[in-house]
Amino acid sequence: MSLGINLGDPGAKACTWSCIYCQCGFGNRVETMGGGFIPSVDQVLSGLKAAIEQQPAIDSVTIAGNSEPTSHPLFAEVVDAVLDFRKASGGRWIFNSLSNGSGLDDRKVVNACNRLDEIWIKFDCATDELFRRLNRPAARVGTVAEHLNRIKQLEKPRIQSLFWLFPDRPEMSNWTDKNREAVLTAYRAIVPEQVFITTIKREPAMRGLEPVPLEELESFGDRARAAGSDVKVFI
Ligand code: SF4
């Protein structure tokens, strides 16, 4: 069983990207978090303690949710507080986070991510054209090269790549020869600890996206393995 920690406002998604496949809708694309409700470190910790009291047999605690975790102004403090709590309580669960990596310009955030058991970073579009069109990052996020440079700050990056088809508008799909080749090149440059390859499962922000067939994903996964990555494909 996995517990999730949302560092954003449950009623108002705020992310530095605005992916067309996001299961939380388009929401607000922001440079930094602020304005709405942002949980304090104490609120996160008390919520986590209450959840674990109810469900002690948990396998993992994941910082994820409807907003970009590394945009929380106290992301590093949250990580440390949860790690201290796990140590004090003798917890054996894995502590990880899912992120788009846009907060990794800040050394404090990088160090906090390196203290997690696992940090999973999104990487779906490896050309600037698709990155801008499909992940739709805020201006300060910049280019694919800048995204890769942030990921390379991490000691043990893990990558999650989501691919999709868009039969009516092929230019809105990232399942193209060019993107697949560019993604493989990026995997070789990142040398990730692990790669998860997946496709659309829940209703995306934009209508018209469709899942990539499993056998096609598996075939791509084999190529990623041949390129040296530890790969898991799932839908
Ligand atoms: S990075 Fe994650 S939360 Fe942000 S828009 Fe993309 S899928 Fe949604």
Place of tokens 């910049």: 142
pLDDT of residue 29: 87
* pLDDT tens string 41-56: 999 999 999 999 999 9
User: Mean pLDDT score of the chain, rounded to an integer?
Assistant: 95
Ligand 1: which residues within 6 Å by Cβ?
Answer: 15, 17-19, 22, 24, 68, 100, 122
Atom of ligand 1 nearest to the CA of 16: 4
pLDDT band at 32 (very low <50, low <70, confident <90, very high): confident
Asked whether the beta carbons of 15 and 29 are under 8 A apart, the reply is yes
Average pLDDT on 127-156 reads 97
Atom of ligand 1 nearest to the CA of 15: 4
Taking the centre of ligand 1 as the mean of its atom positions, its distance from the CA of residue 22, in whole angstroms, is 5
Query: Nearest C-alpha to atom 5 of ligand 1 is from which residue?
Result: 18
Architecture of the 2-233 domain = Alpha-Beta Barrel (3.20)
Query: Nearest C-alpha to atom 6 of ligand 1 is from which residue?
Result: 19
Q: Are strands 194-199 and 157-165 parallel, antiparallel or unpaired?
A: parallel
User: Residue 192 pLDDT > 90, yes or no?
Assistant: yes
pLDDT band at 224 (very low <50, low <70, confident <90, very high): very high
Prediction pTM value: 0.96
Average pLDDT on 183-192 reads 96
Rounded to an integer, what distance in angstroms lies between the CA atom of residue 112 and that of residue 95?
12
